[in-house]
């Protein structure tokens, strides 16, 4: 039996925040099968985790590929493990492609310790303006492209042309502005990963939180991802690390009907033929 959880991250209500699928495995599946599962789920990310000794290995897949960092699916996985598998521990340490990631539980908040991306300013181009429909005030590069818009209303109103955004630099495109009620707002678009818009992007705040911490001269920040689903993140920048906290809500628990080489999932585990 392969159990899968659907968790809405960065919210305390289902149908809000960012939904992630979480598969808790006894041992790893073939990579192509994990990509197939992620494609079938058709969510921004599906997380797979395996207990390896005292540690938990964690991997993230979009519907088309494996990625090196995902915030909301990390929070969702920690929520599942801390509530259903390891209820008596205060934190989880994940071994990932981005190094060790720690998630601590503080009441109903789950706080992740992530690397901050080093940003460097790049010229604003006509291609950025054409893709966004508005000319950014500034542009910055880390892993992703960060475009600073004049106002929160602009971040909400201007949705990029996905085809034109494919040709912009960076893995993901984030638009951001200073917020009215939150310190800053953002939206995240990932057409290169087969994701039109990521409803709440934890790793995006590894770009925006360091930017706004410096710009606003604040260590602790409240961020609001103003997608249709919406989500709130509580960020604290400490040197080259960003602590990102949020809530989570369980939407569903399912049993995946997976067959490997003609065997059921349970039979395949028993025979180890895959």
CB-CB contact of 45 with 67 (8 Å):
yes
Cβ neighbours around 261 below 10 Å, total: 9
Reduced to 3 states (helix: H, G, I; strand: E, B; else coil), residue 233 is: strand
Distance CA 223, CA 274 (A): 44
Distance CA 10, CA 2 (A): 25
The contacts of residue 29 (CB under 8 Å, 6+ apart) are 37, 48, 260, 274
Catalytic entry in 40, 45, 121, 129? 45
Known active-site residue 40: no
DSSP alpha helix (H) spans, 50-160: 71-80, 126-132, 152-157
Identify the burial level of 124 via C-beta atoms within 10 angstroms of its C-beta, where 0-12 means exposed, 13-18 middle and 19 or more buried: middle
Distance CA 75, CA 69 (A): 12
Task: List residues with catalytic annotation.
Answer: 45
């Amino acid at each position: 039996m392969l159990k899968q959880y659907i968790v809405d991250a960065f919210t305390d209500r289902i149908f809000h925040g960012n939904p992630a699928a979480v598969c808790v495995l006894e041992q790893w599946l073939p990579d192509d099968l994990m990509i197939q599962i992620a494609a079938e789920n058709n969510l921004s990310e599906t997380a797979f985790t395996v207990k390896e000794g005292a540690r938990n290995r964690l991997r993230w897949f979009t519907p088309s590929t494996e990625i090196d960092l995902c915030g909301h699916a990390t929070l969702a996985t920690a929520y599942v493990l801390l509530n259903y598998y390891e209820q008596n521990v205060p934190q989880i340490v994940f071994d990932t492609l981005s190094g060790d990631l720690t998630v601590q539980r503080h009441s109903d908040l789950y706080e992740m310790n992530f690397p901050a991306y080093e940003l460097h300013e790049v010229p604003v181009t006509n291609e950025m303006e054409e893709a966004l429909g508005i000319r950014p005030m500034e542009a910055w590069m880390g892993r992703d492209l960060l475009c600073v818009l004049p106002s929160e209303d602009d971040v909400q109103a201007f949705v990029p042309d996905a085809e034109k955004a494919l040709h912009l630099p960076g893995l993901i495109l984030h638009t951001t502005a200073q917020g009215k009620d939150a310190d800053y707002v953002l939206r995240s678009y990932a057409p290169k990963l087969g994701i039109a818009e990521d409803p709440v992007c934890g790793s995006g705040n590894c770009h925006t939180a360091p930017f706004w911490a410096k710009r606003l001269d604040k260590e602790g920040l409240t961020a609001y991802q103003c997608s249709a689903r919406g989500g709130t993140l509580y960020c604290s920048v400490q040197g080259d690390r960003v602590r990102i906290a949020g809530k989570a809500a369980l939407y569903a628990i399912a049993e995946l009907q997976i067959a490997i080489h003609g065997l059921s999932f349970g039979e395949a585990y028993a025979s180890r033929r895959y």
